[in-house]
Structure 1
Amino acid sequence: MKWEGQRESENVEDARGGGGGGRGGLPIGGRGLGLGGIVIALLASWVLGVNPLTVLGLLQGGGSPVEQQAPAGDSHAQDPGYRFVKVVLADTEDVWGAYFQRSGQQYSMPRLRVFRGSEPTACGRGESAMGPFYCPADRKVYIDLGFFDTLRERLGAPGDFAQAYVIAHEVGHHLQNLMGTTETLERARGRVSEREYNALSVKLELQADCFAGVWAHLSQRGKGWLEQGDIEEALNAAAQIGDDTLQKRSRGAVVPESFTHGSSAQRVRWFKRGLESGDLKACDSFGAAQL
């Protein structure tokens, strides 16, 4: 991925030196659970012998908003990993800004906060162990860059475009928030069974995967910055973090009714759907007859 020299977003906050590493705190509430949440839940169940549904329940519990800390300075401005995140976020801004403009709308950009350890958010306290996540209450994506090491070394998904897919997926949740989809799903919480809510969660995550694919299509058409093997990196990342693959890895058995993000095949299929179409209208996972 030819990202060096590209525009870097100004909507990135570096909290790694700003006291964001406190202990304890509240769980992430609402739709704060992100792409890495299921990964960590299943790994925790394997290592600690805890039911993964229990871990997920804790991660998705109703944490109360906490006061935001002031953004720390850009003390890691030359860190390649940090600069990469800024470049990818900048491109999502360009792609979605132009996309919304063509529809006569204005794109409201999210902010992205890089932290280490733990970090207060408007959805509760975020922990590095949760992986990347999006908080709809403050419209921010939160990432501990150490997750990319986990993605590469433990989950078998190396490559810069695999990392770009992760960021694009979380920005996809921001799009859902702007469109009102997130709020609709939250209203269903407590009104449907756990199994039914899990099924809705899967559709939400698959749609975010599709949105990431649309971004990849439009980004490549505009910049031509992807290299041979980049798309395969993203597809591999989508496959490695499918619920079935993670459950097999963590406990050797698959429980489909507990899926919250979708199977490997589904995640790959919906990313490819967005990638091939380049159109958000192709991403209606909620109206799809089959996922």
Structure 2
Amino acid sequence: MKWEGNRESDNVEDRRDGGGGGGFIGGRSIGVGTIVVALVGGWIFGVNPLTILGLLSGGGPAPQTQQAPAHAPPADDRMAKFVSTVLADTEDVWTGVFAQAGGKYVDPKLVLFRGAIPTACGQGQSAMGPFYCPGDQKVYIDLDFYQTLKNQLGAPGEFAQAYVIAHEVGHHVQNLMGISAKMDEMRGRVSQVQYNALSVRLELQADCFAGIWANKAQASRQILENGDIESAMNAAAKIGDDALQRSRGGAVVPDSFTHGTSAQRQRWFSTGFQTGAVKSCDTFSARQI
């Protein structure tokens, strides 16, 4: 992936030197036991741990949480420079997409952390992997995840790493479009199985939006090298719900899926990349995903 020398974003907050602190969801504190339940549930059933935390704590909006002071990443931190550059690239792409549709794109923040961190969505944990919090419009990532992606999940490559960021930014785009709010309205109004099915469509749309970023970034800046798209497709396959459940030695339980199968994730990323059009990413209206 060709990224060195490109613009870096000013929207990266380095909080790796701060402690995790305490987090709250729905006005109730989240203890270690609850976090363990959420993490175990996430790993076994493929359910987003933040969703589980919300359910366990009664849901509802989270109050503001205190975080350690943020600063810019060190200039010699290559990995931080990489994510800053990828974030800047997503800013350029989505600013253009929104402007073309007569709207205005609001840049998200990207927070680097280690271990644990309080967020507007509750206590974030490295074990959750990268995640987006609509409550504060921030993407959170522990950069050690990339070693997990490469060594444990078998998805190496810089473009695979960029795809992860683009997917989380895709959730920010959904938030700005009001799609995330509609999802929240369904919580408690449908069964868990039905909500999981909606969650799959939400996640696949974020994959499709990541594909749109790749399409437009390539068209304007020629960032791709040989094997990059294959790298992203491999990452999409490795983090499919069915692949993750098999890797943990358990049975594949489709009703518990929240992100989609490997084939679905690959297909929707490819759809976004091939078309570069937001309208092609309407996973909620698609008869078959």
* Structures share fold, TM-score greater than 0.5: yes
SS across alignment from 1:251: coil
The CA distance in 2 between the partners of 1:119 and 1:53, in whole Å, is 20
Which residue of the partner structure matches residue 122 of structure 1? Answer: 120
Give a deviation string over 1:117-169, Cα, whole Å, max 9, x none.
Answer: 11111111111111101000110000110111110010000000000000000
Partners of 1:110 and 1:43 in 2: how far apart?
Answer: 25
Q: Give the counterpart letter for 2:287 in structure 1.
A: A
Aligned to 2:164: 166
Give the one of 177, 188, 208 matched to 1:210: 208
Give distance in 2, aligned partners of 1:205 and 1:53. 12
What is the CA–CA distance in structure 1 between the aligned matches of 2:23 and 2:249, rounded to whole Å?
Answer: 28
| 1:55–1:253 Cα change, 3 Å | same
1:234 alignment partner, one of 221, 232, 235: 232
Count residues in correspondence. 274
Q: CA deviation at 1:71?
A: 3.6
> How far apart are residue 74 of structure 1 and its match?
2.3
Q: 2:151 — aligned with what?
A: 153
- Between the aligned partners of 1:159 and 1:27, the Cα distance in structure 2 is 35
The whole-number CA distance in structure 2 between the counterparts of 1:127 and 1:84 is 22
Q: Distance in 2 between matches of 1:102 and 1:53?
A: 35
Quickly say closer, same or farther: Cα 1:56–1:101, change in 2 above 3 A: closer
Three-state SS of the structure 2 residue aligned to 1:142 is strand
Partner of 1:13: 13
Q: Given residue 3 of structure 1, which amino acid in structure 2 is its aligned partner?
A: W
- Tell me, yes or no, if the aligned pair for 1:20 and 1:115 is still in contact at 8 Å: no
Identify the residue that residue 77 of structure 2 maps to in structure 1. Answer: 79
| Partners of 1:68 and 1:120 within 8 A in 2 | yes
Query: In 2 relative to 1, CA 283–118 (structure 1 residues): closer, same or farther, beyond 3 Å?
Result: same
For 1:1-291, what aligned pairs fall within 5 Å after superposition? 1-17=1-17, 19-22=18-21, 25-26=23-24, 41=40, 44-45=43-44, 58-61=52-55, 62=59, 64-69=62-67, 71-291=69-289
In 2: Cα distance, 1:178 partner to 1:53 partner? 23
Separation (CA, whole Å) in 2 of partners of 1:224 and 1:267: 24
Q: Which structure 2 residue ranges, 5 or more long, are not aligned?
A: 28-38
SS for the counterpart of 1:233 is helix
1-structure distance, mates of 2:70, 2:9:
16
Distance of 1:135 and 1:87 partners within structure 2: 21
**Does the 8 Å contact 2:112/2:140 carry over to 1?**
yes
C-alpha distance 290-218 of structure 1, shift in aligned 2 (>3 A):
same
Cα distance in 1, alignment partners of residues 48 and 234 from structure 2: 28
TM-score normalised to structure 1 length: 0.88
3-state secondary structure, aligned to 2:155 = coil
- Following superposition, the deviation at residue 256 of structure 1 comes to 0.4
Q: What per-residue deviation string (whole Å, max 9, x for no partner) do you get for residues 38-85 of structure 1?
A: xx657854xxxxx66696763443383342325422253321110000
Q: How far apart are the structure 1 equivalents of 2:194 and 2:74?
A: 43
Offset of 1:179 from its aligned partner? Answer: 0.5
Between the two proteins, what is the percent identity of the paired residues? Answer: 61
Partner of 1:33: none
Name structure 1 gaps, 5 residues minimum. Answer: 30-39, 46-50
